Chains A and B, each alone.
Chain A
Amino acid sequence: MKKILFIQRRSPYGTGFAKEALDAILMASAFEQEISLVFTDDGVWQLKNQQDTKTLGIKNFSPTFKALELYEVKQIYVEQMALEQRGLQIEDLIIPVTVLATAELRQLIQQHDVILSF
C-alpha cells in the first residue's frame, strides 16, 4: 500500500484544474490506498460554501466534496494560514476538515510516497 497525497492549490473556476483533480482523487479512492487531501493557497477556495454557478452556465462541482466520505477519503486537511490570508474560517467550508499549522503540513508532506499536485 502506498500513501498518496493530493495537493490542491488552485481556485475552482478560473482554470479547469480543480475539477479534473477531483476526478483523479475519486479514481484513486478505488485503489484502496491511503489517500490524503490537502487544500492550501487558493485551493481552499474550492471548499467555500454557497458556490452558485447558475449564471455562469457551468457545473458547480463543490457538492462532490461531500461525497468524498462515501469514497473513504477521510483525511482532508487545509492549511490554517491559507484560510486566514483569505478571510475564511472552517465554518465557511462545505465539508468538515482538519486544520493544520504550516509546520504540521510540512511534516505531513514528508510522510507520503506519492505527491500529486494539480
Chain B
Amino acid sequence: MSILHTVNKSPFVNNSLASCLRLAAQGDGILLIEDGVYGGLNHTGFTPELEQALANFTLYVLQPDLAARGIVNQAHPKVQQIDYAGFVDLTVFYTNVQAWF
C-alpha cells in the first residue's frame, strides 16, 4: 500500500504541498502538476524543503507543466520528469491516489 499524491498549487502561495509532505507516508510518491511544479525547482526558497522531502518520498513533476511555464531547465535534477502517459502509469503503480489542491 502506498499512495500517489498530486499537488497542483505553488508552495509560495498555498500550504497544499506542505500539508502533503506532512501527511504522506514513507515510500509514497508525490507528483507536482499545474502550479505545483513551482515546488519542484532548484535554487528557490523552497528547494531546501524539497531536498528534505526527497529523503522520504519519490518526487515527480509533470514535464508539460514545466514546459508551459518556461522552467524545464530549472527543475531539480532529483525530481523525475514525466509526461501524461507517465502520470497514468504512476496511478497504476501506486495503490491509491490523493489530490491536494
**Chain A residues at the B interface, C-beta cutoff of 8 Å:** 7, 9, 40-41, 81, 102, 105-107, 109-110, 112-115, 117
Contacts and interface: CB of A to CB of B under 8 A. Distances in A.
A3 to B, nearest CB: 10
A110 B27 CA distance: 11
B74 to A, nearest CB: 28
Interface in B48-101: 96-101
B3 interface: yes
Contacts, number: 37
Nearest to B97: A115
B1 interface: yes
26 contacts: A7-B98, A9-B16, A9-B19, A9-B100, A40-B23, A41-B15, A81-B22, A102-B22, A102-B23, A105-B23, A106-B22, A106-B23, A106-B24, A107-B25, A109-B3, A109-B25, A109-B98, A110-B2, A110-B3, A110-B25, A112-B96, A115-B3, A115-B96, A115-B97, A117-B99, A117-B100
